[in-house]
């Protein structure tokens, strides 16, 4: 069953029904037994600005024709098979970009591989940004601005980042500068797209947190990731516990806590606080409490990552020029 999780850049611009299109509300994006995923309107609110010269809609695939000026004529068969499988499993996270022709027909501007894969997957509609301007820079900059303002789920955010890199020639440095995030944070978010499809569905539905997902990426194979993801859901494992399981490399252990720490009980409240801080700062945080004092340890990957964490701790502090 196809489950559409998100729309990449499509989650950043207003929906606008067009001839040969369907509305977003006609698609279900939930997992049985999981919390429903909010629609762009529910999630973003009125603060999201309209993108000049563009709207988002789902278009009938047969109403789209390829770009005759497309420089690519050969598509890697193995890569296409992987993309077709991904579309069947989780839907298309990154919309194509089209321009309107006469009547209710459209011409591809960006995303021919995604369009071909959607056809091969047997889907009848495809999410698309309908562009009405020839200024790529204007469209790119408007989408970047909305990316900064929009509240996306982790998978939608990762898909939007990837589409900026693929379709608009943006670099991670440009993204980091324009939306006020560090390059390591963007890199870590992009890594979520490497998760198996079943795990991506859980992350998009909110069953697994972004902290859980990043910890799972430390495992060596997709099968190991899926098995541990199932344990997280079934047993309610915390991010800290998952990190310890991954560090030990023991997927079958009933008690994932290292032996050297088993004799030192940790209060459940401290574990909960550490998990909340880990999710807030998007890094590993340890909270230890001794007889007379406690200690919080916050891990960071680089100076830029440290600056990101500090800005989260004190958002009102002005940054150095």
Cβ atoms of 201 and 213 closer than 8 Å: no
**Nearest CA among 139, 38, 42, 156 for reference residue 92:** 156
Cα Rg of the chain, angstroms: 22
- In DSSP terms, 60 is beta-bridged to 125
Among this protein's residues, is 244 annotated catalytic? no
Q: Are strands 294-298 and 64-65 parallel, antiparallel or unpaired?
A: unpaired
Return the HEC string of 236-252: CCCHHHHHHHHHHCCCC
DSSP 231-294: HHHHHT--HHHHHHHHHHT-SS-S--S-HHHHTS---HHHHHHHHHHHHHHTS-EEEEE-SS-E
Cβ atoms of 274 and 240 closer than 8 Å: yes
> Cβ contacts of residue 113 below 8 Å, gap of 6+?
75, 79, 80, 83
Among residues 89, 107, 112, 307, the one annotated as catalytic is: 112
Q: Where are the alpha helices (DSSP H) in 1-134?
A: 40-44, 77-90, 112-120
Return d(Cα 12, Cα 9) in angstroms, integer. Answer: 5
**Nearest CA among 219, 210, 160 for reference residue 188:** 210
Output b/e per residue, 238-251; b: 16+ Cβ within 10 A: bbbbbbbbbeeeee
Cβ atoms of 69 and 169 closer than 8 Å: no
Catalytic residue numbers read 112
């Amino acid at each position: 069953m196809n489950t559409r999780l998100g729309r990449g850049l499509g989650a950043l611009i207003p929906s606008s029904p067009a001839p040969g299109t369907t509305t977003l509300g006609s698609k279900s994006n939930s997992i049985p037994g999981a919390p429903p995923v909010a629609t762009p309107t529910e999630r973003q609110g009125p603060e999201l600005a309209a993108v000049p010269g563009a709207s988002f809609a789902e278009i009938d695939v047969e109403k789209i024709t390829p770009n005759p000026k497309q420089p690519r004529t050969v598509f890697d068969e193995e890569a296409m098979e992987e993309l077709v499988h991904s579309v069947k499993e989780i839907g298309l996270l990154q919309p194509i970009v089209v321009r309107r022709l006469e009547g209710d027909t459209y011409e591809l501007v960006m995303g021919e591989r995604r369009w071909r894969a959607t056809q091969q997957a047997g889907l009848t509609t495809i999410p698309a940004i309908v562009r009405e301007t020839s200024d790529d820079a204007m469209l790119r900059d408007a989408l970047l601005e909305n990316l900064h303002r929009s509240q996306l789920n982790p998978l939608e955010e990762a898909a939007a980042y990837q589409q900026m890199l693929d379709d608009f020639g943006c670099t991670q440095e440009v993204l980091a500068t324009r939306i006020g995030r560090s390059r390591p944070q963007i890199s870590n978010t992009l890594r979520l797209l490497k998760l198996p499809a079943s795990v991506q569905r859980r992350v998009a539905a909110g069953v697994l947190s972004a902290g859980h997902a990043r910890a799972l990426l430390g495992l060596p194979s997709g099968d190991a990731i899926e098995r541990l993801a199932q344990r997280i859901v079934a047993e309610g494992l915390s991010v800290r516990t998952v990190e310890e399981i991954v560090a030990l490399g023991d997927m079958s252990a009933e008690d994932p806590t290292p032996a050297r720490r088993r004799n030192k009980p940790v209060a459940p409240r401290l574990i909960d606080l550490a998990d909340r801080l880990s999710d807030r700062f998007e890094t590993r945080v340890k909270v230890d409490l001794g007889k007379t004092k406690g200690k919080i340890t916050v891990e960071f990957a680089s100076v830029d990552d440290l600056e990101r964490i500090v800005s989260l701790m004190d958002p009102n502090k002005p940054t150095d020029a």
